[in-house]
Structure 1
Amino acid sequence: MTFDPVSLGLLAAVLLFAGLCAGVLAGLLGVGGGIVIVPVLFHLFGVVGVDGDVKMHLAVGTSLASIIPTSISSIRSHLKRDAVDKDLLKRWAWAVALGVVVGTILAGVVRGAVLTGVFATVALAVAVHMAFTTENLRLSDHPPTGWLKNLIAGFIGMFSSMMGIGGGTLTVPTLVLCNYPIRRAVATSSALGLIIAVPGAIGFVIGGLRAEDLPPFSLGYVSLLGLLLVAPTSMLTAPLGARMAHTINPRMLRRAFALFLGITSARMFYGLLT
C-alpha cells in the first residue's frame, strides 16, 4: 500500500487536528480522546484503502496507544487540583485491568464489524442517557461496592478496550448515577484510562503481529504514523481540557459529553451500513 504526497499530507493534517481535539476532550471529559480518535482513524483508513477486515482493529489499537501519553498529561493536570479520587482508583484498578485483558482477547478473535457495532451501540446508549436523563437521577447514594463494583469495573475495562477508549465514556456516567460529582468522576476516569490503555495497546500489538493487509508503518494493530501524529498534539492540549473541566458548568459538561458520543455513534453506524 502506497501514499502519494498529497494524500499523505492530507492524512497528516487530519491526524494532527484529531490529536488536538482528542487532547481537549481527554482533559475535559476524561474520555482519553478515543471518542474522537477511533472514528476519525476508522474513516481515514478506509479512504486510503486499508482493508475493511483490519481497519477497525487498527483504529482501536492506535487509539489505545495514543491514549497512554494523553492520559498521563491529563492525570498530571487533575492531580494538581487534587481532583483524582485515589481510594476509588485503587479499589477499581484491578477489576478494570482484568476486564481489559478479556476485552483485548475477544477483540483479537472477532471481525472488525463486531468492534464497530460494539463501539456504536455503547456510545449511543451512553449519549441517550447523558442527553435525556435528568441531572438529579441517581440509582444509588454511593459508588458500588463488593462483587457489583468488580463486575461493573470489569465490564468498563472490557468494553473500553474493545472500543479503543479511555474508559470515561462508561466510568463518568456510572459514577454520576451513583451520586458522585461529575468533575471528580472526570478526573478519576482519566487515571483509569491509563490502566485501560497500557495493557490494551500491548494486546492489540501482539494480536496484530500476524495480520495481513496492514498499512505501512504498522506494529501489529497500531499505526505508528497515526500514533506519532496524534499523541504529541493530544498531550499538548490535554491540560487545556483539564482546566476547562474545572470552570465549565456541570450541565454544559454533561451536554457536551452527550453530543460528542451521539456524533461518534452515528458515524460508526453509518460505517456499518455503507
Structure 2
Amino acid sequence: MPLDPLLIAEFAALGIGSGFLAGLLGIGGGMVMVPFITMILANKGFAPDYTVKMAVATSLATICFTSMSSVRAHHKRGAVRWEVVRSFAPGILVGGFLGAQVAVFMPGKLLGVLFALFVAFSATQMLLDRKPKPTRTLPGPLAMFGVGGVAGFLSSIVGAGGAFVSVPFMTWCNVKIHEAVATSAALGFPIAIAGTLSYIWAGQDLPQMPPGAIGYLYLPGLVIISLASVTLAPLGARTAHRMDIRPLKRAFAFVLYALAAYFLFR
C-alpha cells in the first residue's frame, strides 16, 4: 500500500530536525521523535494501545543510523572517548534489552506518563547545568557497567539515546562537555540495537498492527526518518564544535517542557 505523501513529508521533517539536534546536543533525537511519531501515528488511526510503543521502538531504531552519522563527524575531531564507550557498552546492551521487555508490558498511557517525566527531568538537567568537583573522575569497570545498565534500561523505555544519563554523568566526572556529547553519540548505537531487537521480538504476532510494522517497529517511519536524519547529524556535530552549546541547551529545555506537558495532558 503506497504511503500518504503527507505522512512522508511529516516523517522527513522530523528526521531533519531530530538529526540536527542529535549531532548538536548529543540527545539521540528520541526526546523529539517519540512525541511527534506518537502524534503522527495517532492521527493515522493506529491502535491507541500501540502508538507510544511503536514510537519508542521506531525512535530507537533511527538512533542506530543517526548515531553512526554523528559519531563519524565527532571522531574526525578526536572527541569520542572510545575507552569510555567500551566501559559503558556491556551494561548498556543488557539494560537496553531488559528495558524494552518491561516497556511492552506497560499500558500505553503509563508509558506516555513515564516519557513525559523523563523529558521534564532532561529539561531540568539542561537548565541546572551543575558543575562537578574538580577532583572527581570516572569510576571503575563495575560502576561503569551499572551506570551503563541504567542508561540502557531507561533509554529503551523512553526511546532515547541515553544522553540524558550519560552526558550529565560524564560531565559530573569532569569529562569535557564536547567529549561527553561525542561519546554519548557513540553510546547511542548499542542502546538502539539492544532496544530495537527487543521491541521487534516482543511485538511479534500482535493483532491490529498496521502494514509495514515489524513487531513494534514501524518500518516506513524508520526508513524516511533515518534517511533525513543522517544527512543533518554531521552538520549538527560540526556546529557543536564551533559554538558554546550551553545557552542553546537551556533554550531547548523549554521546548522539552512543552513536549512533556503535551504527553501529560494528552
**Alignment TM-score, normalising by the size of structure 1:** 0.90
Match of 2:140 in 1: 145
1:201 CA drift (Å): 0.9
2:88 and 2:147 in contact (8 A); partners too: no
- Cα separation, partners in 2 of 1:179 and 1:258, compared to 1, 3 Å: farther
1:140 and 1:177 in contact (8 A); partners too: no
SS at match of 1:198: helix
2:261 matched to 1:266?
Answer: yes
Match of 2:39 in 1: 43
Q: Could you list the runs of 5+ residues in structure 1 that have no partner in the other structure?
A: none
Separation (CA, whole Å) in 1 of partners of 2:71 and 2:134: 28
1:119 CA drift (Å): 1.3
2:54 and 2:217 in contact (8 A); partners too: yes
Deviations 1:52-102 (A, max 9, x none): 111011101111111111111111111100100011111111011111111
Match of 2:159 in 1: 164
Match of 1:82 in 2: 78
Correspondence for 2:179 among 175, 184, 200: 184
Correspondence for 1:34 among 30, 44, 61: 30
- Cα separation, partners in 2 of 1:61 and 1:259, compared to 1, 3 Å: same
2:15 matched to 1:22?
Answer: no
Correspondence for 2:189 among 194, 216, 226: 194
Please report the RMSD computed on the Cα atoms of aligned residues, expressed in angstroms: 2.0
Separation (CA, whole Å) in 2 of partners of 1:263 and 1:53: 23
- Amino acid across the alignment from 1:204: Y
**Alignment TM-score, normalising by the size of structure 2:** 0.93
Separation (CA, whole Å) in 2 of partners of 1:210 and 1:169: 33
Separation (CA, whole Å) in 2 of partners of 1:48 and 1:140: 53
Separation (CA, whole Å) in 2 of partners of 1:164 and 1:93: 17
Separation (CA, whole Å) in 1 of partners of 2:113 and 2:131: 30
- Amino acid across the alignment from 2:175: Y
- Cα separation, partners in 2 of 1:138 and 1:11, compared to 1, 3 Å: farther
SS at match of 1:246: helix
Match of 2:119 in 1: 123
1:266 CA drift (Å): 2.2
- Cα separation, partners in 2 of 1:134 and 1:172, compared to 1, 3 Å: closer
2:161 and 2:191 in contact (8 A); partners too: yes
SS at match of 2:48: coil
SS at match of 2:175: coil
Q: Could you list the runs of 5+ residues in structure 2 that have no partner in the other structure?
A: none
Separation (CA, whole Å) in 2 of partners of 1:59 and 1:246: 30
- Cα separation, partners in 2 of 1:64 and 1:160, compared to 1, 3 Å: same
Separation (CA, whole Å) in 2 of partners of 1:184 and 1:264: 27
Match of 2:60 in 1: 64
1:250 CA drift (Å): 3.7
- Cα separation, partners in 2 of 1:181 and 1:253, compared to 1, 3 Å: farther
* Percent identity over paired residues: 36
2:134 matched to 1:136?
Answer: no
1:169 CA drift (Å): 2.3
Correspondence for 2:48 among 43, 47, 52: 52
